[in-house]
Chain A
Amino acid sequence: QVQLQESGPGLAKPSQTLSLTCTVSGVSIRIAGYYWSWLRQQPGGGLEWIGYTYYAGRTYYNPSLKSRLTISLDTSKNQMSLKVYSVSVADTAVYYCARGLQRQGYFDFWGQGTPVTVS
C-alpha cells in the first residue's frame, strides 16, 4: 500500500528557508512513470500545485513560485524534499506531497498534509 508522510518544522520566520520532507512507503520513488509532487492549500483557500520531479531528473515547477523552489529526491531514503526560499506570510499553508503523472493533473496518493505557519 502506497503511503506518503510529510514532515517539517511547523513554523518558519519570514525570509527564512522552509524545508519539508516526504517519506514514501509501499513503492519505490524510482518507479517508472510517476512524478513526486508537492502541493499546498492556504488557509480557507483552494489547492495549488507547487511542482513535481521524476527520479530520472526532470522537474516541473509552478511558474509563479519557480524562483523560490527546489524539489529533490533521495532515492536511498525513498524520500522527496521541498525547499522554499525567502518565505513570507503568504506561504502559510498546509503542504501536501503526492504521487502524480507527467503533464497531468493526476495525483493518486496523497500524504495527510503538514501545516506550516510563517510568522
Chain B
Amino acid sequence: QSVLTQPPSASETPGQRVTISCSGSSSNIGSNFVYWYQQLPETAPKLLIYRNDQRPSGVPDRFSASKSGTLASLAISGLRSEDEADYYCAVWDDNLSGVIFGGGTKLTVL
C-alpha cells in the first residue's frame, strides 16, 4: 500500500476532461515538488509534469497539474484514445528519505 494514494482507475469519453488525484502528507507532497508520469502499455514511463505544474517540451497543453497542501492533481482535457495509459505521481518523502510513487491510475478512454 503506497504512501501516496491515487484512484486505481479512471475513465472518460473522448473529448472530455478527466482529473486524477494524488493524496499524500506533509512529509512528501506538503513539502516537495510533485512529478507525474505517463506509462503507455509495454513502455517505460515518461515524464509528463515536473515541479508540480510544469510541462516538459513536447507534452501537449491538454495536460495540466496542480498542487494544494498535501493533494496533487493531474488533469487531461480533450481526451484522446492515445491518452489511455497508467499515470503515476512521484515525490520525495522527507521522513523516508526516498522517492515514493503513487499506486498508479489506469485511465480508460471509453
Among A61, A62, A111, the one with the most B-chain Cβ atoms within 10 Å of its Cβ is A62
Interface size class on chain A is 20 to 34
Majority secondary structure of chain B interface residues (helix, strand, loop or mixed): strand
Partner of B2, one of A46, A62, A113: A46
Contact in complex: A48, B44 (CB < 8 Å): no
Contact in complex: A110, B46 (CB < 8 Å): yes
Contact in complex: A105, B91 (CB < 8 Å): yes
Contact in complex: B45, A62 (CB < 8 Å): no
The residue in chain B whose Cβ has the minimal distance to the Cβ of A109 is B47
Partner of A49, one of B44, B99, B103, B104: B99
A90 within 8 A of B: no
Query: Chain A, 95-108, contact with B by CB distance < 8 Å: what is the 0/1 string?
Result: 01000100111111
B interface residues with partner A (beta carbon < 8 Å):
2, 32-35, 37, 39, 43-47, 50, 56, 88-92, 96-104
Contact in complex: A63, B92 (CB < 8 Å): no
Q: In the docked arrangement, what's the CA distance between A47 and B88, Å?
A: 8
Contact sample, A vs B, 13 pairs, CB 8 Å cutoff? A49-B90, A60-B98, A63-B97, A96-B44, A96-B45, A104-B33, A105-B32, A105-B90, A105-B92, A107-B37, A108-B47, A110-B45, A112-B44
Contact in complex: B33, A111 (CB < 8 Å): no
Q: In the docked arrangement, what's the CA distance between A28 and B13, Å?
A: 44
Q: How many whole Å from B59's CB to the nearest CB in chain A?
A: 12
Contact in complex: A47, B96 (CB < 8 Å): no
Contact in complex: B97, A105 (CB < 8 Å): no
Contact in complex: B47, A47 (CB < 8 Å): no
Cβ contacts under 8 Å, A104 to chain B: 32-33, 35, 92, 99
The residue in chain B whose Cβ has the minimal distance to the Cβ of A111 is B44
The residue in chain B whose Cβ has the minimal distance to the Cβ of A102 is B92
The residue in chain B whose Cβ has the minimal distance to the Cβ of A61 is B98
Partner of A105, one of B35, B44, B46, B104: B35
Among A51, A110, A111, the one with the most B-chain Cβ atoms within 10 Å of its Cβ is A110
Partner of A63, one of B47, B96, B101: B96
Q: In the docked arrangement, what's the CA distance between A63 and B91, Å?
A: 15
